[in-house]
Chains A and B, each alone.
Chain A
């Protein structure tokens, strides 16, 4: 069973929830798909034994064959190739690795070479995976795809998404069996939760909500979920001790047995829900 944890708004506790869930299930695979700012490792402390570069293909022009016709520049919809005065200039960070230039070249002068944009790291059993984007690189998707290719099917899988609802999140949750949406009881939290709900509904993935830093005085999330017939899977109360231990890299389930049991129950209820 593949469970993705997303949030809409950043800082609601996505990684806290995903890492807590993984720690509580025990025998599972945790995949940190927040490749811009991966944090799962800070809490789960895996022993990373394997690191593989994530490469993308960018064009390389054989100057002997090239006659400066400019067909490649015209074909590229991302302006990653410029041809001026017969010279070909390539802008690899802008390249979308689509191969249109290769197809367009009438002289077969373009081949493709690999360029590294990030890395995928794993522990020895592949029970912990994380992707990390290189600084200055704009595009994350190829790393997400590489992580997805390493998904196991013999154990439950928990995927931590990046914040927001952009194409990175879309690619991460695509193919998952269930989505946990983590939110907080603030107007920002509710606003962004609605965005995340629209996304999982558009992608037709079953989902439920976890309310983190819950406060009895604010029931705005609960009210919204009731109106929309969305199941509230769990409420984690706001507690300064949780915030403080989190700041030191400790998960709430590591200091609170009751919470740990609740996360186990959360997983069981998701499994049963999926089965019904």
Chain B
């Protein structure tokens, strides 16, 4: 089984649209949406719910007000400003480190597990699909991403591919998404911010030793910038496996919750097919 993770650095480059399109194209696969913060893929992938679970991804301090002697040791040691003067835990700031538990002379503080999100596994007609939603303002998106992948692999049944939709950025969520991947595909756009963000996220892939490929979405929006990205990739040994054109019809299709394939946007459909066969050749050549 080969795990391919689609990331972008910059948000809004079309990752989810590409992954949803591949869900129609690629056989024998499982899928995951690791953008647990603001997941979108499930809007395009309908399925039967196989399981749904609460995810307890963090701990928080809880004060036993009866035992508390208000000495204030806990406030002194808390580095996250999470304990008020009245010895009340500010739940949105508590990191769950337990320093206060250690500092309390009367053992009045304990740690409790906190729900940070919800995980789901669906049986779509195109394969098993694992996704999750982080609770509003909750911590630990990286951990929840790890859980999404663990859930996915729990349903693995000899499939050849795992196609994963990642999240924007380069921090803990992205790092957790690309862990264990056989390859990452950076879906970028030919804009100044798009290129800048692509370069940063490629550095992350390199840092973790994961082979990276690039797909330029909306490439004809700015041919000069596309050429610039081509040049950068060539110089840095990053294969460009796909180029998808800037097609306003795609937005109209998405508004109807349709992928470009379902909406019959033939030129884009061909470009995504080319992306997939290009990627497969590159991966085969690497072995």
Contacts and interface: CB of A to CB of B under 8 A. Distances in A.
A103 interface: yes
B122 interface: no
Contacts of B97: 77-78, 96, 98-100
B103 A247 contact: no
Interface in A63-89: 75, 77-78
B13 interface: yes
- Tell me the dominant secondary structure on chain A's binding face: loop
B170 A135 contact: yes
Nearest to B194: A247
Interface residue tally on B, bucketed by range: 35 or more
Interface stretch (B4-12, B154-162, B278-286): B4-12
Contacts of A167: 137-141
A37 B169 contact: yes
A170 B40 contact: no
Contacts of A10: 8, 10-12, 38, 168
Nearest to A135: B203
Interface in B76-128: 77, 79-80, 92, 95-99, 102-103, 111
B196 A9 contact: no
Contacts of A248: 191-192, 222, 225
Interface residues of A, number: 57
B255 A186 contact: yes
B227 interface: no
B192 A37 contact: no
A247 B171 contact: no
A243 B40 CA distance: 23
13 contacts: A37-B9, A98-B79, A98-B95, A98-B99, A135-B170, A139-B172, A162-B168, A164-B141, A165-B137, A167-B141, A195-B37, A246-B191, A249-B193
Given A37-B200, A164-B167, A195-B37, 17 more contacts: A10-B38, A10-B168, A11-B11, A36-B174, A42-B193, A98-B98, A103-B99, A135-B204, A137-B171, A165-B38, A186-B254, A187-B255, A188-B16, A188-B40, A202-B136, A247-B191, A249-B191
Interface of B: 8-13, 16, 35, 37-38, 40, 43, 59, 77, 79-80, 92, 95-99, 102-103, 111, 134, 136-142, 167-175, 189-194, 196-197, 200-201, 203-204, 207-208, 221-222, 225, 246, 251-252, 254-255, 257
